[in-house]
Chains A and B, each alone.
Chain A
Amino acid sequence: MDKVRIVRHPQRVCLKDILENVYDNYTEIGGQGEYSIDPSMIIARAYITRNVGKKTYKQPVMVIGQEKGHGEEFRNGGSVKPWGNAKALEYMKVAETENIPIHSYIFTPGSYPVEDYPGAAQQIARNIYAMAGIKVPVVAVISEGGSGGAEAIGLADTRIMLSHGYYSVISPEGAAAIEGRSSASRKASGKLVENCARQLKITARDNLEMGYVDRIVQEPPLGARPDHFEFYRKLRQEVILATDEIILSIRGVKLFRAIALRKLNNPKIYVRWSLSTKSKERLVWRRYQKYRGLSRWAFEDSSTGFQRFKNFALETGWSIYSFLRYEFFGRHQRAITHLAEDVQGEVHALMDRVTHRFSSLFKKLPGVKKDREDVCQLTTLSTWEAGMSWNEHCRYVSPQANQDKTLTCPNSRKSNCLDLWAPDLFGDFAGVCSHCGHHFPMEYEWYLFNIFDSRSIREFNAPIEASNPLEFDGLTHKLDKAKKQTGHKSACMTFEAKIKGIQVVVAMLLARFRGGSVGAAEGEKFIRAAEQARRKHMPFLAYVHGTAGIRIQEGTNGLLQMPRCTLSVRRYLESGGLYLVVYDTNSYAGPLASFLGCSPYQFAIRSANIGFAGPGVIRETTGLDIPPNYHKSFQALSRGHIQGIWDRREIRNNLHHALMTMGGEFLYYR
């Protein structure tokens, strides 16, 4: 907690100081002081001069970071509004065009959770998605790294942390507020905050041990202040070194310089910071692998050695199969069918002329009368395949439907809805008021039975188990309870299923398992599902029955799932996949601001609430009271976050329709 106080001290170094002292010259882009679209986000084109031998090189970089200022009110404490993040994204793209590295400095307690356009969650998701594939080296320096605000500019190839900084999923006060279930009126006790801060393992040392930062820059004992010039020199050396290292690790000709850098720690070697096309690809691939490898120890996998071997064998098999089927065979097949179509067209044109002449003659022949009237069965019973393999016998009856009670629709005063009888409402109406269309919450099992074809669900990776990597007090117990209650080992259920015959891979976040929060196990399962979808060439559906955000008790282990999952989603999308997201109930925070929010096709059921932070958190962090329907799906639609709102009764049809239309010619599953 002392660290947190140091970090938040008004006299702590801020980005401006670093720009002045670490870089040799800079131009602030898009704002001075409070005249900026968002004064809490600073973007600057800076350069570092290096004298090597007799030559002087100017090496340009794009510096992006939050500015806390020294107690300046308008800086908003480094809490960046959505449009500030949008600006950051814009200049990351500029850096990509100019082929110069990005240095990002993270000085934020968290993002400002308002949903005004472009929307906190949406913009962060966009940033993370873009950074997942950005083709220039990114070095992040973390002083205060809180939650989504940090991730918005923090998906870096190398992460350096200041020794007195903290990097966490949530500020200790926030964690204490959630843990102690305190409300705005009753603040969490100091002791609890202290406890949370300790348990969340937010310090530089902890994060280095867990592997989430790569290096630590030592600060003076009470933290760096604006006049600690020795510290600036050290920091300068570190960022240059980090950039050099990244560049050299992916460049063809590096041999001696890499060795020299590592062994001698010699800053006097010159490395050009622009990249060739080949190295750009290597850079992105390396970044993917780096994040893919993180936090793999933070969950339990209780599958046996045999199962693992089987899975591995299956995966390899599928890779080979889909390579043959889609890459090798598919390409030729397409060429052949195109050719065949052309030929057929020609033949048709020719035949038409020929048959036309003979047809009159042909018709006069006896016994050629066509007998096709029965095809349409105007008076007899026709066959009716109502949906493919839709089995009446495995209908699901919600436990909510098994009680003799009536429910009053919350809109009854406005729209005069009659009270609804539970068996009707939950058994037949899918939990939707038949009068006004209000959606009552439904449990996830309902969806399993009502969206997917009967008996088509095959779960995989079920043994991956949510655990308590930080040994946070009480979490193990809570997880055990949730596991027992739901019968699942984590809040993410991944399976393959069919929707009217179309095979899809689904990752479902279950609201009943710790609020659908995402930790290391859930992230891993999500990633594996995306990989499976990519391997098998299937559409990938993320069904968010509900998510409360990142599981804060897992600390950075949870937070890291934001970039990790986004990277895998991006990899899937870039290989040509169709990624659909459907939100059902409350969907908030981290997942939304990363791997869910980055999907180009996001839909909501009418019951969904979508946003970055819940109303309580917004009140606590910003002091603003938000209107009661702030997070309703209709609002999210008008803000442009989601692409459509579906009625729950229609969801199966809509999903099928979406899969058919959005797949288009590049249908993965054809």
Chain B
Amino acid sequence: MIPVPSPPLYSTRPEWADVVPIPQYEKANPLAPILYSEEYKDATDYLRAVVKSGEKSERVLQLTEHVIRLNPAHYSAWQYRYETVVAIQWPLETEIALMDELADKYLKTYQVWHHRRLILTLSKEAREELAFVAKILQQDEKNYHTWAHRQWILAFYNDDALWAGELDFVDTMMNKDVRNNSVWHHRFFVVFQSGVREGEENRERVVRRELIYTKQNISLAPNNASAWNYLRGVLEFTKLPLSTVATFVTPYTVPLPENLGDIVDVENPPPGKGAELPCVAAIEFQADIYEEEAQSESIEEAVRLWKSLAEEHDTIRKKYWEYRIQQALLRT
């Protein structure tokens, strides 16, 4: 790669000759001093000067952009930039276009997303935003900031047009990676956490749809903690007992039978060919169903399963399973 040449220092540019740079305050012997580059020192000296004089102009936007590119975590540069955008009525779509590039570049920086949010709050224009998020997620499908931004957009605008495509979006992402927990979480947010939208009023139908959706995904990939957590989440949220899915869970707690048969049961999709069984999450689920029954025989069954987890299937959590046994026995 050819190194990008540094731009000329502000101290040598005639168009900045009217500004007197202000160096950084530094008296005591500093903790973890940073050996600043000449370019950074020069740019921030001029930033301090314009902040002090209160100048808000197009060249200040250039200066803050420069500082941000050198240090995207410079939250004061972001803050001053935001106030400059507002003061000079800078076109918000131009600002968002720049932010598209910077979000792509500094994906994991808090300030990139915060500034974007402030600008969107001003522009009240979110039509393109979900498409932008989808594009950014392509480079990092579990990026926390990006998902948080999507959830914020949906909650903040709360516009039916924005919500309308959300389940399809979840499906697209799920098809790429059924173990992407961010997608499962997002689905829960869309279906249960954000109110009831048109077409979703029949909650019984919605819950049935969610249970079938989850079971089908478990059937395709049984050892997927995200799906099992979602299953528990749906049941708990709708106050249904865990035993609601007992018939479905059982085949996942035992080794895969040699003859799978051709049973087509939408409510209870069986494990597919090549499934790695028994599935730890299913054994645990089954034990919880027994514990829920709270009869002495069922607790015995739960204890038997927890022991199998502690000793054979999930030994790293041995102490946890022993704790579960102890807790259950204490209550009976």
Do A and B associate with each other? no
**B residues engaging A (CB < 8 A)?**
none
| B-binding residues in A (CB < 8 A) | none
